[in-house]
Chains A and B, each alone.
Chain A
Amino acid sequence: MSFSKSLCSMAIAGVLLACAGCGDNLFPSGSDKRSEVQAGSIGSGVSQKAPDFSVTDTNGTTVTLASSLAGRKGAVFYFTMWCPICDSHMSSMRSSIIPRFPDVNFFLVDYVSGSVSDAAGAASANGYAGGVFTTLADVNNTLENNFQGTMGTTVVVDNAGIIRMNEDYRDGERLLATLAGLP
């Protein structure tokens, strides 16, 4: 076999190898594959009841599901790892969304810091200390596990403890619509 044929074979083999198992991106699906969940059951899905939790905020105050909702129409939990995408979401929320919903609590969930002081340091260094957000130090990954959260995950829980939204922040439009629809 000539050299050029060998090279072509290597390239084709490489592409085939690369393509194996990555069909979801090579051939994206627009099908709705969300599974039915039992409304009101405890879980992380929309229409399910949020699991209870107890975490510490960067002021050292214990925050539970009940306390996060007390006297409010709902609560928003945004999962941050203090990255540029996270910052763009948090900045957008702070300037465009939070002022329109004074009756909703907004929490930043720091799921990467190992202590309350580290979470406080990260919030401060990024300009989010003492502002409209309360930063939760999820040092035991309670919220991360409860809501299956990762970078950019945005969870809205209404006053009854029902999850109204649990997905990536995207451009904030879905969050706006969800908050506007809170009872």
Chain B
Amino acid sequence: MNSKNILLKIISVALLGGAAALLPADSRAASCCGGGSAASLTVPKYAVAVADLSFDSELYDGFWDQNGTHRPDPPGSNLKQYRLNLGLGYRFAKDWQTSISLPYVWNDNKYSGASSQTDGLGDTTISVTYDLLDDISSWKVYEAKDMIPAVSIGMSLLLPTGISPYDKEKSSFDITGRGFYRLDGTLLIEKTVRPWNASVALGYGTYFDRSVNREYGKYVEPYTKGLGDRFTASVAVGYSFIIGTAGDSITTTASYAYLNEGNASYNGTTDSDSGFEKQSLGAAVAYSSTDHNWGLRLGWNHAIQQDGWGRNFPTTDVISVGVRYVFL
């Protein structure tokens, strides 16, 4: 990877994407593909910082093949990945914030003839976000400008801190990360007209090529590997309920997410069979205290286990629980 390529990649991402709240970083996980994902982390405008702790339980149930046909996992298999995600966000200027997310990953794979339980750090994400526009009216819409949404742009960098196929570990069951740096540009658009809210999140990421001289613990003839660019998009709609008279609220959210990653390359030659695609649906319920300091959430993400809703990717259900504290 030379400096010219790096510069070109950075410019491409900056132009293509924009910005960054930490978008959900879907990643190939558990039994076959490594994992470790970051959670969405945004510091509210009125706050100084956010600390977030969440736990994901991802259950594997089949996959889409190259043609988008849904296939079952082998008989007698039970494949899971658990992730504990620590996120910290800090607003260092009125319109700027930075954040970091560290996942710790447990792989729990059982087949009728093999069993493996391993753990390790996942890939770390750091990001910087700039608030382009603020949502100036969240209560009533009187005129056109009240419909202006909050818009954030930013960049995030995925650091390969997890265990990858290029480490000393000999089994694919041990993998907790991709092994590549990735730079993402993200765009987040949100609008609240109480009690409703809606958001659109877009992300475009590019991996940096890397040298490989080892595969699953075996040294091999060195080569250069690249992963395809990654595009993510999600839309969400939520409705908030006020509980009692103190102002505590519960927000329910429904979402749809799309993920596409391009083909990998080996020594500059594209592998046309390696890209993947995934569509999923989500539902979440979140509790927020009166002063908005504390928040609890429970979420479910479901990959649609039907032909044509994905390609070359596992289908999973992810159940997440999280707690968040906002520092004013």
Contact = CB atoms under 8 A, between A and B. Distances in A.
A115 interface: yes
A121 B224 CA distance: 37
B63 A84 contact: yes
B161 interface: yes
B172 interface: yes
Contacts of A86: 32
A165 B273 CA distance: 21
B166 interface: yes
A38 interface: no
B259 interface: no
Interface stretch (B14-22, B196-204, B207-215): B207-215
Interface residues of B, number: 72
B77 A84 contact: no
Interface residues of A, number: 61
Contact of A31 (B159, B166, B213): B213
Interface string B153-195: 0000001111111111011100001011000000000000000
Nearest to A35: B219
Interface stretch (B5-13, B110-118, B234-242, B283-291): B110-118
Contacts of B168: 24
B84 interface: no
Interface string A74-98: 0000000111111111011000000
Interface string B274-287: 10100000000000
A152 B113 contact: no
Given A25-B164, A84-B312, A173-B266, A113 B113 contact: yes
A92 B75 contact: no
B223 to A, nearest CB: 8
B113 A170 contact: no
Contact of B222 (A3, A4, A8, A32): A32
A84 B32 contact: yes
Contact of A91 (B33, B66, B77, B171): B66
B211 A139 contact: no
Interface in B111-136: 111-114, 121, 124, 126
The 8 closest A-B pairs by CB, nearest first: A114-B113, A30-B211, A171-B271, A83-B32, A114-B112, A25-B160, A112-B111, A151-B172
